[in-house]
Homo-oligomer: A and B are copies of this chain.
């Protein structure tokens, strides 16, 4: 570590200790254990929490500005209802009504402005150069000139999503940002639902689809209807919130989305975690029980689940048998090739092995296909086809 880096760390520790109320020695230990990591490149050095600790969420990011430390809190993990009715009753006890928003399927970003520059943070607290370019177009700097103390939390969705390819939103041609929460810097405190909607309307900032407010008694039945309809349209699910945002939100998803996740992941069966598969299978079981399904409906669910698991795996094995390489293909669309270069560096920093195809000029933007190599699935499949034992 160079002399100037050490000085930066020391200054950061001293200032952050005061802001966060964590002792300097503890913060210093976190840096050593890499629970807190320095992020360099594209932007003045900043720090991110790689794990949740000391009441701060994973992905919490700290910036040193001229006036001190600015904290963007990590987006809190939203817990999942497996059984809708009892979960709503238990979780929202004492609240007169809940509001329901669509849970969109893309990637979670937090947007804010640091010393006048708009930055988009990934869930883990890295600045994504691609997303930063995109949201500058969607949100603009005007909002943050008026509200430098706010953080817009939302989902980036569309076919030009470079993390998880999903093309299920006909309303999005490329990639677009939909807000679900507006929160304060430093404290992470959210605005109420009403405040959020009023604010976003004023700046014509898009919010995720809103399904309305429901009394606690009617919520489960109404949401079940919404879920069935969203499922038919291939969309993910809902987030259920306290309108005052005093209780944490909960989420609930469609069977179609669960199956779509499995279909995607089993194409790279050795790269995704065992828990990814297991938790989705269990969701199917509980939903079927809550919906009190008859034999025929259950049988459809069995076949759908089995197909979502086996079909992509068989396809991957056959591809590999033909000598093809298994890649996860995504794409980005940029106005500026420099953004693509920065994004390539960003992926490398995340430890993702990817190859960028030649940019194609489409309607004044560069479309670039990115091939991520799923080494574990490639290697395991080849070895097994060649007779390696398990």
Contact = CB atoms under 8 A, between A and B. Distances in A.
Contact of A281 (B81, B82, B309, B321): B309
Interface stretch (A47-55, A297-305, A325-333, A368-376): A297-305
Contacts of A83: 384-385, 387
Nearest to A81: B389
A310 B288 contact: yes
- The listed residue with most B CB atoms (<10 A of its CB), out of A281, A299, A389, is A389
Interface in A22-49: none
Contacts of A314: 285, 288-289, 298
A326 to B, nearest CB: 13
Interface in A237-285: 250, 269, 274-275, 277-279, 281-282, 284-285
A82 B250 contact: no
A89 B314 CA distance: 22
A308 to B, nearest CB: 8
A77 to B, nearest CB: 10
B318 A80 contact: no
Nearest to A390: B80
A306 interface: yes
A48 to B, nearest CB: 26
Contacts of A389: 79-82, 87, 91, 250
B311 A298 contact: yes
A324 to B, nearest CB: 14
A86 B385 contact: yes
Contacts of A7: none
A203 interface: no
A255 B354 CA distance: 36
B279 A277 contact: no
Contacts of A2: none
A318 B289 contact: yes
A89 B386 CA distance: 9
A387 B284 CA distance: 16
Contact of A306 (B303, B317, B384): B303
Interface string A198-226: 00000000000000000000000000000
Given A90-B387, A288-B314, A301-B310, 14 more contacts: A81-B387, A82-B388, A87-B387, A87-B388, A282-B390, A285-B310, A285-B313, A285-B314, A289-B317, A289-B321, A302-B309, A302-B310, A303-B306, A306-B307
18 contacts: A82-B384, A82-B389, A83-B385, A85-B387, A86-B385, A86-B386, A89-B387, A90-B386, A91-B387, A91-B389, A269-B282, A281-B309, A285-B317, A286-B317, A289-B321, A298-B310, A299-B303, A306-B306
Interface of A: 79-83, 85-91, 250, 269, 274-275, 277-279, 281-282, 284-286, 288-289, 298-299, 301-307, 309-311, 313-314, 317-318, 321, 384-390
Closest 8 CB pairs of A and B: A306-B306, A86-B387, A90-B387, A302-B306, A79-B389, A274-B274, A305-B306, A285-B313
